[in-house]
């Protein structure tokens, strides 16, 4: 299976969860609130960062092992940013602790994104291993 196939497969659950979040906000009458708009903005930003990172992966498929190792380090840093700091999932849950359904969707989105980033790290590591094997 090629990297591009893996990326296409992983985009689907991310888009579905993003849709769930927006539907949940509309059905609960929660959509107009500033906090909801802020949450969707943050989640859209996270989704965008993940998908942009996926495009980067495709471009790096042809690069040498050193460049790939640099990408691996960058993805790990990106991974850490999603789970720490002001715009992290934990902060979203704190802001919306009174909205149980919303927090459930945020949890699902977090697990999905975590899975995608873990997949990225594995893919990059496999590419490095294959390139090193081929070179020797």
Asked if pLDDT for residue 1 goes beyond 50, the answer is no
Instruction: Tell me how many domains the chain contains.
Output: 1
Full-prediction pTM beyond 0.75?
Answer: no
Q: What is the pLDDT of residues 9-61, one digit of tens each?
A: 555 555 665 666 665 555 555 555 666 666 666 666 666 666 666 666 666 66
d(CA 28, CA 23): 9
- The 10s digit of each residue's pLDDT in 52-109 is 666 666 666 666 777 777 777 777 777 676 666 666 777 777 777 777 777 777 777 7
Burial class (CB in 10 A: 0-12, 13-18, 19+), 106: buried
| Lookup result for tokens 């697990």 | 111
The residue segments making up the domain with residue 106 are 3-135
User: Can you spell out the DSSP letters for 37-66?
Assistant: HHHHHHHHHHHHHHHHHHHHHHHHTTS-HH
pLDDT at 30: 55
Query: Cα torsion for 80, 94, 41, 16, to the nearest 10°?
Result: 80
d(CA 13, CA 65): 30
């Amino acid at each position: 299976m090629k990297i591009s196939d893996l990326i296409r497969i992983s985009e689907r659950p991310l888009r579905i969860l993003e849709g769930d979040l927006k539907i949940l906000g509309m059905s609960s009458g929660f959509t107009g609130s500033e906090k909801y708009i802020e949450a969707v903005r943050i989640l859209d930003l996270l989704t965008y960062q993940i998908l942009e990172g996926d495009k980067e992966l495709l471009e790096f498929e042809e690069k040498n092992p050193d460049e790939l190792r640099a990408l691996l380090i960058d993805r790990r840093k990106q991974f850490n940013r999603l789970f720490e700091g002001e715009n992290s999932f934990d902060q979203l849950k704190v802001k919306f602790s009174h909205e149980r359904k919303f927090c459930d969707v945020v949890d699902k989105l977090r697990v999905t994104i975590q899975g995608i980033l873990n997949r990225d790290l594995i893919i990059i590591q496999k590419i490095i291993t294959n390139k090193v094997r081929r070179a020797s």
